[in-house]
Amino acid sequence: MITVLVVMGIVLAVALPEMDASGRTYLLQSGANKVMAALQSAQAEAISTGVSHGVTFSPTDNTLTCFTVTGSPPYPTINHPVKKTPYLVDFDTAPGMGGVAIASTGFPSDQVIFDSMGSPDSGGTVTVSLGVFQRNVVVAAISGVMEFKDP
């Protein structure tokens, strides 16, 4: 019985760090998915309505907001296509985001605007982090194609 307990202890000592890393990977990817979804939603709205839409990122507030370009800034926030509430993601309070943060963006003024053809005003990268782990969401400059990349 002591041998079984020792073996189980060794297995747990090896398996627990892997399970913890897997959980961090899942959280980090969930955060990157939220960023990707917001970008794709703004791009789709711009194409379907013929009116420019965009996303503003605030690394200091740890939020992102989707908006429509009407009039002059500040632009009005659009509604989330499913929830029908303002499309604002606060990573500090969003369920299941435990420690995920917008670390940085490579967009001018931390914002990207998609025109009616779905092209962004500039390419860039949003870096999402969880501790020392990071995941990038990259938007191509002319095409607006988006992808995940490891730093």
pLDDT in tens, the chain (151 residues): 777 666 666 655 665 455 454 556 888 999 999 999 999 999 999 999 999 999 999 999 999 999 999 988 889 999 998 899 999 999 999 988 889 999 999 999 999 999 999 999 999 999 999 988 999 999 999 999 999 998 7
- Residue 35 contacts residue 146 (beta carbons within 8 Å): no
**Residue 33 vs residues 6, 43, 126: alpha-carbon distances, Å:** 41, 15, 11
We report the CATH number of the domain holding residue 31 as: 3.55.40.10
Number of structural domains in the chain: 1
pTM value surpassing 0.85:
no
Domain that residue 115 falls in? 2-149
